[in-house]
Amino acid sequence: MFHSTPTSHADIDHRFNYHRPDVDQVTRHESIRGKCRDLAHDLDSILPPGREKALALTKLEEALMWGNAAIAREVLREPIANAHQSVIQDHHA
């Protein structure tokens, strides 16, 4: 029994392929990296040592990674309202 679909195949390729950043994306990667680094330094100086601090820094690192993934995997889409309108028009055609 096969569970893959054309949609799941494309989604997997999109998730695991390399996404070469354009100039705007590089700028946004650098921005989010700098903001997370600044917050990490603030947390390091404010929080006492311990498990909670380690987890806070780990979660911030995860937020950075997911933020960078969002930028890297960005797909330009129609706004939802326009996409919905296109579906309605296609359906009535």
Give the model confidence (pLDDT) of 39-65 as tens digits. 999 999 999 999 999 999 999 999 999
* Confidence (pTM): 0.71
Of 82, 64, 76, 59, the C-alpha closest to 24 is: 76
Per-domain boundaries in the chain: 21-92
Mean pLDDT across the chain: 86
Contact 73, 19 (CB under 8 A): yes
